[in-house]
Amino acid sequence: MSSAADDDGWNETVSDKICKILSQTNCSMPTIFKRLEISVPIYGYISPPVILLTIFTNTLICVVLLRRGMRTATNMLLAAMALSDMLTGLCPLPCFVYFYTFRANRDWIPYNWCTAYFILTDRLPTVFHTASIWLTVALAVHRYICVCKPQVTFTIPLLIPLLNYSFLH
């Protein structure tokens, strides 16, 4: 026997209502957390130490390559690649720690967190990873020019527009 209360949604659970609201606002959180048995160990326990190790090693690379005596066009490209790779891991780290390590994914998630989660774990790492790929291409072109045309010098002032292009496009 169906009552009018069932049709009005009075018997829906709170989580059903939240999922319905979030799905109407284009939030990607409910679909992300469906596979928690896989995502919690990977994003919560494996990724943060790997990301921290990457940040540490890339910081050391930047410190070494940006010393005054080490500043060449090739080393500037390598330092920019290290910075870009460091930012690729640094952006999603707060979300991984908050949602997966501290297990905040069990609680209700406000819409603002959905937007921040999507930007920090999907958009920004993609931008920095793409910049790293373009810097790798620039390094290959730079090495090609140095090997095939040794008379052409590639100085740091000529490299700055190339670095700007890699990070802005």
Helix axes 47-65, 73-90, angle to 10 degrees: 160
State yes or no: pLDDT of 156 exceeds 80. Answer: no
Say what the pLDDT of residue 150 is.
75
Average pLDDT in the 49-68 region? 96
C-alpha to C-alpha distance for 151 and 142, rounded to whole angstroms:
13
The domain tally of the chain equals 1
Question: Which residues contact residue 145 at a Cβ distance below 8 angstroms, ignoring those fewer than 6 apart?
Answer: 152, 154
* Residue 103, Ramachandran bin (φ over 0: left; ψ between -120 and 50: alpha; else beta): left
Question: pLDDT tens digit string along 84-119?
Answer: 999 999 999 999 998 888 877 777 777 778 888 899
Question: Which residues contact residue 6 at a Cβ distance below 8 angstroms, ignoring those fewer than 6 apart?
Answer: none
The larger pLDDT score, comparing residue 143 to residue 10, is at 143
C-alpha to C-alpha distance for 113 and 71, rounded to whole angstroms:
41
Mean pLDDT, all residues of the chain: 79
Range(s) of the domain holding residue 86: 4-168
Say what the pLDDT of residue 19 is.
54
